[in-house]
Amino acid sequence: MKINCPACQAVGKIDDKWQGKQIRCPKCQEVFIAQDISHLPSHVSVVPEPLFVSEEDQSADENHIMATDIVFSGQAGEFFRIWIVNLFMTIVTFGIYTPWAKVRTRNYFFSHTATADTPFAYLADPLILLRGYIVVFGGFLIYSAINATFPPMALVVMLLFGLIFPFLLFKSHRFQAYNSAYRGIRFHFLGTLKESYIIYLALPVLIPLTLGLIFPYWAFRQKQYFMGNMAFGNSKNDFKGKSSYFYGIYIRALLMLLGLFVPLVGLFFMFGFADGEMFRSGGGGAAWGVALIAVIGFFYVGVLLVTTFIQQYIYARITNYCWENSTLGNVTFSSTMRARDLMIIRVTNILALVISFGLLYPWTKIRRSRYVLHKLQLQVAGGLDVFMARNEQDQTGLGEAALDFFDFEIGL
Amino acid sequence: MVKNHEEKVEVSALFFDGRSSKAQAVTLTLSHGCVAVHDDQGILILEQGVALCHLAPPLGSAKVELKTSATAHCLLEPDSAAALAHFFPTRKGLLLVDFFERRWGLVTVALVGCLLFVWFFIATGIPFLARQAAYAMPSQAMTLLGSQTLAVLDEQFFSPSALPLEQQHQTHSLFQQVCQQLAVPSCQLELRQGNELGANAFALPSGQVVMTDELVILSQGQGDEGLQGVIAHELGHVTNRHALRHVIQHSGIFLLISTLTGDMGSLTSVAASLPMVLAESRYSRSFEDEADAFACSYFLDQGKSCAAYGELLMLATKGRNSDGLSRYFASHPPTSQRLEAFHALHNSTL
């Protein structure tokens, strides 16, 4: 609904639930009762001269939609220096620096990601992260000790971890969102713990029972849990994705997998058969050994390329879809990633890492982030100035740290 | 530090009140220990004492946040932030980190430092710590660990020994004899059919030594001495607690690499697994060398030569390629190298 401040006459848009409640004017700090003015004739509200007119606002009104790019300005050389110093400090401090290194890295990526000329910010306190790391490190030591002395017990520990995983994931989502901000407004994750247990404990148990048929549905629920519960300030993301699209993508991925694998396996057996024939007829020797290695190598590279392509296909399509079905206040999104590009980036990144003994890691990270972020675009109706903050409560870093250590891929 | 109280710094910035997502172009003035924020029409938006503000540490070419109240902040260009930095009590530590990050020379020094540390830690640190931990382990735990391992091996590879009973007894008494000669108490021999593991012997943390039928049969050509050598070698593993140290070193390497790379399970772990395998096989080879030296000194103490043991080694490892690149991944040193080491040991004691 549309409101205006009785003191300074500023006009703004807020969620309908504030109707009749006390609110504070973001401009003059005046507290007043929110009342919808959208039904009033437009000449009643006096639109004040904005104090600051950003570029995207100049021609902006509520009906005018502006396409706004996400700009990623991270540089491989600069990040390389930060990365090496992080590594060095981590070693010198026997690992205690780890949370500072993590925050510095995240901060680098957030503050070099900008839209409408303002960057994102990562606000986590390294001391909170450190607490989480210590707990997780202790857990890992206990697990290792149990695993070394009495392996069957380790299985029980793993089961216990499975039981607390949904809790950690829920905490992690909350922590990550809460510590991400844009223009001084924090993000929030509003999902419930109960839903986390349904998605990360109940559904995984059902997957083998249904012979994997609910797997795409499970993937959908995970995305819905994450995207649909994300909020920027007091504006909740409206996620309209449907599980049927996920089924379509997974079926296509399966068909592609078959389509690409059958010729590959066929080729492999053809070569292998020819090899065997030559071997038996005594015409072998070193040359055939080399040929056999070449065939196995070819097969291995083929499998790697096919699986990478399928993975990236699923990632690209589903990420694009999730963005396109999200509406955050007056903002909609479009994402145009292509599986082919992602596959080329991934394969060349792996090669670069192997050739450089890992030293090109910063370059690979910057490169992929640049691609993913540059393919994302915002469609803003009337400017990015209309979002409001929400009341906050503190969170602990335990969840994030736990996930970080064991590394479950949750990404956007 | 004495500050010039007349000093006045003025920079332009973006202001965010923390309540709305509106960005405001402002002028930030710092004088007399006070931060003042004025909008582009010169109207005062906010005034705050320097002590209540917080300037974030610099980070490369990123814009820097200056917190001006519990919710509001200003976003400064890195140059402006640097100009204001000395007014604020930023923690010295992160300023030093930033100083390093801006200089390629110092980054190179840090890189060399990292490589040296990792090399030193893998070569010396982890084995040292593992040795300390292994000797601190109570014997009950070792017994438990040993019987667990044997149960797994029995299930996956072994079947009961198919040797004639008499040969089994002979082997057992030979084992007891070597144990007494070497004064290694509470060791036990387990005979098994090795199947795909072939002619092989293992020392478990519990002091149990597993020997395969295939190895016993293979050793017949060398008389008792070949088998004595193998037993002494395995007892070398037992007395030095190699099996346990191996497990501990494995965890150590895993912990080190996952701390350094920061994320296991992602793309980097593909690259990270290679140094892990290399380091582990290096550890394993040094254990084998230690056990070989133990076996050789057993023969030398009795005035015998290790020749028979060497020959058995040759036979048992025949057909296993340990040349070229695969040498670096192998768990045992190449047999030729091991034999050379025997000669060296032999000559040095003569």
> Contact at 8 Å (CB) between B191 and B211?
yes
Residues 124-143 of B with CB under 8 A from A: 141
- A225 Cα to chain B: minimum distance (Å): 23
Interface A-B: count of C-beta contacts within 8 A: 171
Among A18, A51, A136, the strongest candidate for a mutation testing the B interface, having the largest count of B CBs within 10 A, is: A51
Mean pLDDT of B172-195: 86
Q: How is A123-157 classified by DSSP, letter by letter?
A: ---HHHHHHHHHHHHHHHHHHHHHHHH-HHHHHHH
- Specify the pLDDT at position A82: 94
CA atoms of A394 and A186, how far apart (whole Å)? 12
Residues A45 and A71 in one domain: no
Residue A274 belongs to a domain: yes
Residue A183 belongs to a domain: yes
Which of B143, B157, B255 lies closest to B207 in space, CA to CA? B143
> Contact at 8 Å (CB) between A170 and A191?
yes
- Specify the pLDDT at position A392: 53
- Specify the pLDDT at position B280: 77
CA atoms of A182 and A171, how far apart (whole Å)? 21
- Specify the pLDDT at position A71: 93
Mean pLDDT of B1-12: 67
- Least confident span in A17-26, A33-42, A393-402, B173-182: A393-402
Higher pLDDT, A17 or B348: A17
pLDDT tens, position by position, A131-161: 777 877 787 788 877 876 676 777 888 888 8
Mean pLDDT of chain A: 80
SS3 A209: helix
- For residue A12, give its domain range: 1-49
Total domains, chain A: 2
- Kindly state whether B69 is in contact with chain A, defined as any CB-CB distance less than 8 angstroms: no
Is the pLDDT confidence value at B259 over 60?
yes
Residue A58 belongs to a domain: no
Identify the closest residue of chain B to A392 by CA–CA distance: B71
Task: Categorize the per-residue pLDDT at A288 as very low, low, confident or very high, splitting at 50, 70 and 90.
Answer: low
Q: Report DSSP state, residue B57.
A: P
Is the pLDDT confidence value at B63 over 60?
yes
pLDDT tens, position by position, B106-119: 999 999 998 898 88
- Specify the pLDDT at position A160: 87
Higher pLDDT, A287 or B128: B128
Contacts of B25 in chain A (CB under 8 A): 52
Residues A191 and A260 in one domain: yes
- Specify the pLDDT at position A114: 94
Task: Test A52 with B24 for CB contact under 8 angstroms.
Answer: yes
Residues 315-344 of B with CB under 8 A from A: none
Residues A185 and A140 in one domain: yes
Residues A43 and A71 in one domain: no
CA B174-B175-B176 angle, to 5 degrees, is 95
Residues A94 and A22 in one domain: no
Residue A181 belongs to a domain: yes
Is the pLDDT confidence value at B141 over 90?
no
> Contact at 8 Å (CB) between B211 and B201?
yes
Mean pLDDT of A2-9: 71
pLDDT tens, position by position, B288-317: 888 888 888 888 888 787 777 888 877 777
List Cβ neighbours of B88 (8 Å cut-off, separation of 6 or more): B50, B53, B54, B55
ipTM given for this complex: 0.72
- Specify the pLDDT at position B89: 75
Residues A117 and A166 in one domain: yes
Is the pLDDT confidence value at B40 over 90?
no
- Specify the pLDDT at position A404: 47
Task: Test A389 with B41 for CB contact under 8 angstroms.
Answer: no
Residue A60 belongs to a domain: no
- Specify the pLDDT at position B336: 74
Residues A375 and A292 in one domain: yes
> Contact at 8 Å (CB) between B28 and B36?
yes
Residues A103 and A212 in one domain: yes
Name, of A2-11, A138-147, B311-320, B327-336, the range with top average pLDDT: A138-147
Residues A215 and A130 in one domain: yes
Q: What is the dihedral of CA B181, B182, B184, B187, to 10 degrees?
A: -70
Task: Test B264 with A140 for CB contact under 8 angstroms.
Answer: no
Task: Categorize the per-residue pLDDT at B96 as very low, low, confident or very high, splitting at 50, 70 and 90.
Answer: confident
Residues A25 and A165 in one domain: no
- Could you give the domains of chain B? 8-91 (2.30.29.30), 139-349 (no CATH)
Residues 155-214 of B with CB under 8 A from A: none
Residues A36 and A119 in one domain: no
Is the pLDDT confidence value at B64 over 60?
yes
Task: Categorize the per-residue pLDDT at B158 as very low, low, confident or very high, splitting at 50, 70 and 90.
Answer: confident
Burial A172-209 (b: 16+ CB within 10 A, else e): bbbbbbbbbbbbbbbbbbebeeebbbebbeebeeeeee
The verdict on pTM exceeding 0.80 is no
Task: Test A75 with B61 for CB contact under 8 angstroms.
Answer: yes
- Specify the pLDDT at position A124: 84
Higher pLDDT, A242 or B265: A242
Task: Test A388 with B100 for CB contact under 8 angstroms.
Answer: no
Q: How is B12-51 classified by DSSP, letter by letter?
A: EEEEE-SSB---EEEEEEEETTEEEEEETTS-EEEEEEGG
Contacts of A51 in chain B (CB under 8 A): 22, 24, 39-41
- Specify the pLDDT at position A406: 42
Name, of A12-21, A39-48, B149-158, B250-259, the range with top average pLDDT: B149-158
Task: Categorize the per-residue pLDDT at A182 as very low, low, confident or very high, splitting at 50, 70 and 90.
Answer: very high
- Specify the pLDDT at position A369: 94
SS3 A114: strand
Among A71, A73, A87, the strongest candidate for a mutation testing the B interface, having the largest count of B CBs within 10 A, is: A87
- Specify the pLDDT at position B262: 56
The share of chain A scoring above pLDDT 90, in percent, equals 38
Residue A56 belongs to a domain: no
Is the pLDDT confidence value at A410 over 80?
no
The share of chain B scoring above pLDDT 70, in percent, equals 86
CA atoms of A44 and A3, how far apart (whole Å)? 12
- Specify the pLDDT at position A275: 55
Residues A212 and A77 in one domain: yes
Neighbours of B77 (CB within 10 A): 16
- B194 Cα to chain A: minimum distance (Å): 23
The share of chain B scoring above pLDDT 90, in percent, equals 12
- Least confident span in A272-276, B16-20, B148-152, B172-176: A272-276
- A217 Cα to chain B: minimum distance (Å): 24
Mean pLDDT of chain B: 81
Tokens describing residue B298 = 């057993």
Residue A391 belongs to a domain: yes
Is the pLDDT confidence value at A394 over 60?
no
